[in-house]
Amino acid sequence: MKAKNCLIFGGSGQIGRYLIRELTKNNYRVTVLTRNIHQKGYIIKTQSNAGYIDIIESNIFDEKKIRKCFENADICINLVGILFEKKRGNSFKNIHTLFPSLLAKLCSEYKLKQFIHLSALGINTATDSQYAKSKLEGEKNILKNFPLATILRPSIVYSVDDNFTTNFLTLLNRLPIFPLYYSGSTKFMPIHCSDLKDIIYYVIKNKIYSQIIECVGPEKISFKEILEKLLKSIDKKRILLPFPLLLAKLSAKFFELLPKPLLTQDQLRLLKYDNILSGKYKSNKDIGIPSIRFFDQEINKYSYMWKEGGEYSTEKYDLNKNI
């Protein structure tokens, strides 16, 4: 049987790397676009079976190069997304609205079999967030231009390669006091990257079309509980202090001055809303592929790097401690 060709945008991120391994292992040919082939090429190539992957250097605004990639594609997968806006065109509107719209039009023009787009959970309710608005507008444009598209809305995605648990582990390791925004009551359903990869592959393999699917982990936990689980995994005790909203807004404004802000004003607005199943759409469990990985069990597999003597620990291991 001829291998199907998958065209992946955002393939060098944590989800992309997991997915490339799964697809090439199962006889799918993969083409990945990356902005910097010298920086990302090695990372991408080492995830795949030899001979099953092509890497093309291009930015997402080069329509001529992108269009050429569609000539031999059967399936398009868009994993591109940003958590905060940067200069040089990396705005929510460009990344989350205009770019997915272009992909949907090209999927229709070149008669692709499938288009799978990664969106985000909770965007219907977070009406005052520019991130959520841009994601929602992108979804509308996709379904308008390519009605067969399947849109996946995951809650927080985590793994050893993420920028979520790893950043918090570093901060909790270093700071004696950690702020709780909105008293830490916001609820999430974190999904492990490997579970999300399984869902994407399941959608491809079972030819699921024209659906919005909410992708969540097996448990509902608050932001405070997430921090407590992370602290427990590295054997640390910290003061989790509720932050007044005015102070939170001022800190977010300050963080936005950093190249990689820890928190933005838009992210602070998002934290007001629970990131859980809406009940309006099917979930990954409803389509037959429930998540099987629990948050505390998975973070324990890599949090040792932040424990005493670990690679990212601030404490050196004392050899005489247990003698």
When pLDDT is averaged across residues 207-226 and rounded to a whole number, the result is 97
Q: Is the pLDDT of residue 86 over 90?
A: no
pLDDT of residue 39: 67
Out of 101-105, 301-305, 307-311, pick the least confident: 307-311
Structure tokens at 142: 């996709």
Percent of the chain with pLDDT over 70: 94
- The DSSP bridge pattern shows strands 187-188 and 221-222 to be antiparallel
DSSP letters for 193-229: HHHHHHHHHHHHHTT--SEEEEE--S--EEHHHHHHH
Q: What is the mean pLDDT of residues 162-178?
A: 92
Total residues belonging to the chain: 323
The span from the CA of 31 to the CA of 54, in Å, is 5
Examine the pLDDT at 313 and tell me if it is beyond 90: no
Q: Residue holding tokens 């004003």?
A: 265
Label residue 57 by pLDDT band (50, 70, 90).
Answer: confident
Distance CA 3, CA 73 (A): 11
| Better pLDDT: 311 or 115 | 115
d(CA 105, CA 111): 10
Residue 288 binned pLDDT confidence (cut-offs 50, 70, 90) = very high
Structural domains in the chain, sorted by start: 5-158+189-219+275-292 (3.40.50.720)
Task: For 11-54, write each residue's pLDDT tens digit.
Answer: 888 999 999 999 999 999 999 988 777 667 667 777 777 778 88
The per-residue pLDDT for 319 is 55
Residue 115 has what pLDDT?
Answer: 98
Supply the pLDDT for residue 317.
57
pLDDT of residue 2: 63
| 184 has pLDDT over 80 | yes
